[in-house]
Structure 1
């Protein structure tokens, strides 16, 4: 038998199983049809953000720490922490000033052509910004995109002047899930300790991958209110919770993309009560309760380090105590010395350390 004939026979043998598999009848699962009235009743429903698939992280502003990527910098550093609404460094000839209303910027002008979109009026404006080290940095507004979920909130595409490279660059940190991050304009400024301060005429361009913006996206809009109560305190507590900033000093105790479940006193976000592909109740347990200036009590740390390390990091803030029951199964063993943990605005669960597998041979 020639080599060519052997090759042809081998090829035929390989194709027969494939052909049989291709001709095998398929069995697909088809959902039962929804009655027409029900189908139309389900259209255009508002979709609450699924917080358990919105991973938290270590960044506060979501900005680069330094323009020099080779430089080792502290996590509390940023190339852009605030911007001033006036005086404008540069703007369209018609724009005389900018002001912040809720979640968007508004341009004051001498005249605009009828029908000019509100967002486009601020494009091209250059504001005077400040880095965490106090150095000035210019920031330009390059685009404005109204949020589909909230017309009163606008996403801005910004660029800051990189004096090191002598070019305009997006100061926001890009991640795989958000490779081209935008920013929100939020009233006030956050300092290196993570503390928010209201400063007249000052705002923060909070980038998409940072805790300030994540907490807004989860539902805690600092300019909004619920049942007559402002959400500003809840938003600030959320920025501490998102980064596991227990001591309220701006230091995180977590890792990027760690899953969490949060729930608050005002009912903006309720506790997750059913497991899903994104959240496993069997693995989740209470972690901490939160106030705007950090944790009020802890059961454990999010990144697995010993609670003693937190007591050492802020020695006069917490004390180890008998277990305190906060209700609904939430119990903490380390509590603030100056705050009643039961007054916390926000609580969260996270996944604790996985238990080591038990070997049948060990008898344990």
Structure 2
């Protein structure tokens, strides 16, 4: 096991050019294959999962790169073919990169890279595991999105998929800077943290639906739009991490920038900001009445959610809008 201090890894947003000035950094061609799947649908299925499972139901919602524990996990070192990888970073959107023998490697050039981590089974009781990047493909529709086949070691001879969808089929992960609180769903902006966001769950869906947190719309960062989309997908009206939906409930998504436009004449359900809904009409699931949700938000200190009065996503400071027929 490697013992890693903060100096081993740079913050993901930093340029590779910040490597020590006495080193010559060469660039290796990634040669990353292209994924042929088109994933966005304007009439999108929502879901309750913030992120996909790791093992035994544990969530992989962030890990810090300096050896400190986070969400019960601690990263201890990254290597490839027994050589240590340095300056692990997420660049060019969601592209993983690292230095091996002063050569910058990224994408498919990091296939078979492994890192050790400890995770907490019970308070104060940690188990040691390994993760491995088994494959990397670039999205065919979004050149800044990369899908990673990440596996974790079950035992000395067995590796299993880190991410599985709702039907337990293996799926890939998108690498994101920062982390998300497992309980509240809020973004945690530790500069040395990163998250494997499993496709099919809210963190990755928000990226694939057009709200990648590293992008901009005009001069506006989409970081808050991504967080708003995470709330929206999970029907987390009060911004507390409590969901009010079931997997597969269709919603029609649009936003203030026109990145996505309405595709139906369904009634407006809600408008969304990074802290949850900014206004609410009829919730998408009949199991929760508007009055029940409003009471929850008042109890959480959000105040009374007003009714949405028009089809402008930016009403009440909103970023996104959902339309839905209550089911």
Distance 1:110 1:210, change over 3 A: same
Mapped partners of 1:246, 1:195: distance in 2: 13
List per-residue Cα deviations over 1:2-48 (Å, max 9, x = no partner).
Answer: xxxxxxxxxxxxxxxxxxxxxxxxxxxxxxxxxxxxxxxxxxxxx89
Mapped partners of 1:123, 1:271: distance in 2: 42
Distance 1:60 1:312, change over 3 A: same
Mapped partners of 2:102, 2:240: distance in 1: 46
* Aligned residue among 175, 189, 201 for 2:166: 175
Distance 1:131 1:297, change over 3 A: farther
Q: Is the 8 A contact 1:85 1:127 kept in 2?
A: no
- Once the two structures are TM-superposed, the CA of residue 167 in structure 1 deviates from its matched residue by 5.5
Q: Is the 8 A contact 1:146 1:155 kept in 2?
A: yes
Aligned residues: 272
Q: Is the 8 A contact 1:215 1:221 kept in 2?
A: yes
The question of 1:91 aligning with 2:89 is answered: no
Mapped partners of 1:142, 1:149: distance in 2: 22
- Once the two structures are TM-superposed, the CA of residue 229 in structure 1 deviates from its matched residue by 1.0
TM-score scaled by length of structure 1 = 0.66
TM-score scaled by length of structure 2 = 0.73
In terms of fraction of residues, the more helix-rich structure is 1
Q: Is the 8 A contact 1:86 1:98 kept in 2?
A: no
Q: Is the 8 A contact 1:127 1:140 kept in 2?
A: no
Mapped partners of 2:227, 2:178: distance in 1: 12
Q: Write the mapping of 1:1-364 to structure 2, written as runs, cut at 5 A.
A: 49-52=40-43, 54-63=44-53, 67=56, 78-86=58-66, 89-92=77-80, 93=83, 95-101=85-91, 102-111=93-102, 118-121=107-110, 123-128=112-117, 138-161=130-153, 168-176=159-167, 179-191=169-181, 192-272=183-263, 281=265, 284-304=266-286, 305-314=288-297, 315=299, 316-319=301-304, 323=307, 325-327=309-311, 342-353=316-327
List per-residue Cα deviations over 1:74-114 (Å, max 9, x = no partner).
Answer: xxxx332212335652411163331111211111121559x
- Once the two structures are TM-superposed, the CA of residue 157 in structure 1 deviates from its matched residue by 1.1
Output the aligned Cα RMSD.
Answer: 3.1
In terms of fraction of residues, the more strand-rich structure is 2
Mapped partners of 1:296, 1:285: distance in 2: 16
Mapped partners of 1:221, 1:132: distance in 2: 32
User: Higher relative contact order by CA 8 Å / sep ≥ 6: 1 or 2?
Assistant: 2
The unaligned stretches of length 5 or more in structure 2 are 1-37, 68-75
The unaligned stretches of length 5 or more in structure 1 are 1-46, 69-77, 274-280, 331-339, 354-364
Distance 1:190 1:259, change over 3 A: same
Mapped partners of 2:319, 2:121: distance in 1: 28
Mapped partners of 1:229, 1:149: distance in 2: 22
- Once the two structures are TM-superposed, the CA of residue 187 in structure 1 deviates from its matched residue by 0.6
Mapped partners of 2:196, 2:122: distance in 1: 17
SS in 1 for 2:309: strand
SS in 2 for 1:223: coil
Mapped partners of 2:64, 2:45: distance in 1: 30
- Once the two structures are TM-superposed, the CA of residue 352 in structure 1 deviates from its matched residue by 2.0
Distance 1:255 1:82, change over 3 A: same
**Larger Rg over CA atoms:** 1
List per-residue Cα deviations over 1:42-82 (Å, max 9, x = no partner).
Answer: xxxxx893321x42211011225x616xxxxxxxxx33221
